[in-house]
Amino acid sequence: MNADRLPLGGPVAWLDHWGRERPDATAILDAGGRQWSYREVLSAVRCRTAWLVRRGLTPGSVVCISVADPTEQRLLRWAVNVGGGLDALQDPALAEAELAGRIDLLRPAVVVRDPLPSWRDERAGSLEQASAFRPTATTPTRILLTTGSTGWPKAVVQLAGHLDCAALANTRARGLRGDDVVLTALPPYHAAGSLFEDSLLQLGGALALTARKGPGWFLAALEQQPATVTTVIPSMLQPVLASPSGIEALNRLRVLNYAGESIPMPLLERLLQVYRGQVYRGYGLTEAGPMISFLGDEDHRRAAPDPCNIGRPALGVEVRLDAAEGDESGELLVRSGHVMAGYLHDPKATAERLRDGWLRTGDLARWVDGQLYLTGRLGSRMRSGAEWIDPGEVERCLLALPGVEEAAVVPVASSRWGERPVAFIRASAPLERDRVREHLESRLVRFKWPDWLEVLSELPRIGPGKLDRVALRQRAATGPGRGALILAADESCAAVHAMNAEEPGRVT
């Protein structure tokens, strides 16, 4: 279908259109192997909308969703939209304290958590209120949470028109089609994951859902689901490219997009050597919809591109650099039809990020031969995989641990994740690894944990009360010292464990 004739109005309009035009077409291939037609999806969504309306959903209200089942995550999201509400999907792995903080921020009318009712026994009830709702381009539709630059969550508000515009830009950038099936390798509460799901839903395509459980989940999903498109963070490709069966499964895809952290050059060269489909790189952030720029397949095939190269602006995206006179690099500012409406309940933060319609990204960039190159970041955030981690948030968590008097968290380079946090503390009493892990488990989602924690008698300073973070980063780059508590629990930190094994005195 011509992209200019695609349905507009966000998920409500997309589902309604394809439910009438192609009711028997596949909309969802769930992780259990069941195929859901657009007709079946619409019926399930309407049942959940009625259930939500009876519990307080009204047009313009926020619904916080924290459920584990991947199919329910999507059905409930769309059910909220059909009822005129803003869906706010959350990572079901969040610690209770983190989820509670997000609920305080969102002020939702309804919170949906496991266990869910048996929908088979749930009466649909009256849908007059939901059926009467018709979204416009300015209808608030979705909320995605981002840590921003402060470590405290910010709730990004997207309108129905933003979702339309971003999906169209993504479709044109990657050449997506209505017969495509997207493998949902990134979760729906992630901006990039949502973007690709929206694009296929707007096109009348299908979503192949994944369970995201176990160390080999992505490879298993590639082998089992008949997908043609997926978007990943680079670290997900390492085990796939190391396996002959993984390479074979990868080559069933027509389009492979990677986003998030810079891809290591050896990994990119290996990918381009063995993968026959089209390779794209995407750059964006949640506040930008998240579509800012992309690097196309031709740019990859001429020669492996510099990891800092983020390509050209996407359709409808204006870009300018806020640079000092004489500087080549400056803060990247963007303006488009899918930049956020603002932060929920936070007009001050909105005014700081959105100025005269321009979004300040916080990233530094420069132009090289008509393409954008990232040169750094403002502030102290670190990016691990596709997730931002704020050192201050982790430090506050560590300072709540009995005996910890001072804490500093700095990034260390990771071949798999780009960057990982590590911590240095000053403590008045010895720390036990199990107690530290228990403390973190109750307060932080796992990807924010420091890979290791090292106790120092004093933290270095460059002035009264000011930590010398440069010195700490240099120290962290050499690996954990003797007695460091190794907190990493997966293969992403194999190098840390290897270093630890070389010095038997270190605590594992």
Give the separation between CA 231 and CA 182, rounded to whole angstroms. 8
Give the separation between CA 185 and CA 193, rounded to whole angstroms. 7
Report yes or no: 289 and 340 within 8 Å, Cβ to Cβ.
yes
Report yes or no: 25 and 40 within 8 Å, Cβ to Cβ.
no
For 133-159, how does the pLDDT look when each residue is reduced to its tens digit (9 = 90+)? 889 999 999 999 986 444 578 999 999
For 270-288, how does the pLDDT look when each residue is reduced to its tens digit (9 = 90+)? 999 999 999 999 999 999 9
Give whole-number Cα distances, 485 to 177, 423, 434, 458, in Å.
49, 10, 10, 17
Q: According to the model, what pLDDT value does residue 147 have?
A: 61
Confidence of residue 507 (pLDDT cuts 50, 70, 90): very low
Where does 3-376 sit in CATH, by number?
3.40.50.12780
Q: According to the model, what pLDDT value does residue 308 have?
A: 83
Q: According to the model, what pLDDT value does residue 503 have?
A: 37
Phi-psi region of 442 (alpha: psi -120 to 50; beta: other; left: phi over 0): alpha
19-26, long-range: CB < 8 A, 24+ apart: 21/204, 22/204, 25/204, 25/206, 26/181, 26/206
pLDDT at 306 over 90: no
Where does 382-502 sit in CATH, by number?
3.30.300.30
Give the separation between CA 13 and CA 320, rounded to whole angstroms. 33
Pairing relation of β-strands 255-258 and 229-232?
Answer: parallel
pTM over 0.85: no
Phi-psi region of 258 (alpha: psi -120 to 50; beta: other; left: phi over 0): beta
Q: What mean pLDDT is predicted for residues 343-363?
A: 95
Percent of the chain whose pLDDT exceeds 90: 70
Task: List the chain domain ranges.
Answer: 3-376, 382-502
Q: What mean pLDDT is predicted for residues 449-454?
A: 95
Token pair in block for residue 395 = 């430090």
Q: What mean pLDDT is predicted for residues 51-63?
A: 95
Q: What mean pLDDT is predicted for residues 107-124?
A: 87
Report yes or no: 444 and 461 within 8 Å, Cβ to Cβ.
no
Q: According to the model, what pLDDT value does residue 125 have?
A: 53
